[in-house]
Amino acid sequence: MGWGGVAWWTIASLVASHWVYDRSPLMRWHWAPPLLLKPPARWVNIHSGLDESTVALRALFPESTGVAFDIFDDGEMSESSIRRARQRPSAVASTSVDHAALPLPDGSADAVFLFFAAHELRAPASRERFFREVARILSPGGRVILAEHLRDAANLAVFGPGFWHFLPRGEWLRVANRSGLRIARELEITPLVHVWSMEKSPRNRG
């Protein structure tokens, strides 16, 4: 890789991050409620150590009850970037939980929010166990809202080799299918962020 490529990706990633996280609708979160069938009575926001959304979700759903779970696992998540992110202070206290054993009863969450956290589970089997748990706690008619960067051409163009940390669209579809979830809706927030609304598939509703 030449110095020109390094300079391009350094500048491009900074500009893209500012566009996505500061200028686009992403961090205003108003796109999330329309992806649900109805306002949730009970919701769960699951992150991996950097929680930038629980405060906003509480403002969006003031009549509901919500909890924040931190699924950071030292053995599963070894990237230096996540360790740096965890050093930033959070405005909300979260409960540290095992991603493979979420401490909630079956069908107890009307919405589960997964914003830029699930990809930190690097092993495919770990992602499957986690999403099976998410499907287990999801109530009938509930939705999972997943937001992620993708390992695609757009993210390659601005993040360079860092795009390998993201996962391809097909992997998220595979994990959803293996977990008994189906895609209800997909959308993009800028070409760099992909969002899915998922619900229990018919075979998983009983």
Write out pLDDT tens, residues 49-82.
889 999 999 999 999 999 999 999 877 776 655 5
Query: Who's near 9: CB < 8 A, 6+ residues apart?
Result: 158, 159, 160, 161, 162
CATH superfamily of 3-204: Vaccinia Virus protein VP39 (3.40.50.150)
Phi, then psi, of 10 in degrees rounded to 5 = -65, -50
* Domains of the chain by residue range: 3-204
Q: What is the pLDDT of residue 10?
A: 76
Maximum distance among all Cα pairs of the chain, rounded to whole angstroms: 57
> If pLDDT is split at 50, 70 and 90, which confidence band does 6 have?
low
Name the more confident of 2 and 158: 158
Using a pLDDT cut of 90, give the percent of the chain over it. 75
CA dihedral 44, 77, 173, 14 (to 10 degrees): 90
Q: What is the pLDDT of residue 54?
A: 96
If we measure between CA atoms, which residue out of 184, 141, 176 comes closest to residue 40? Answer: 141
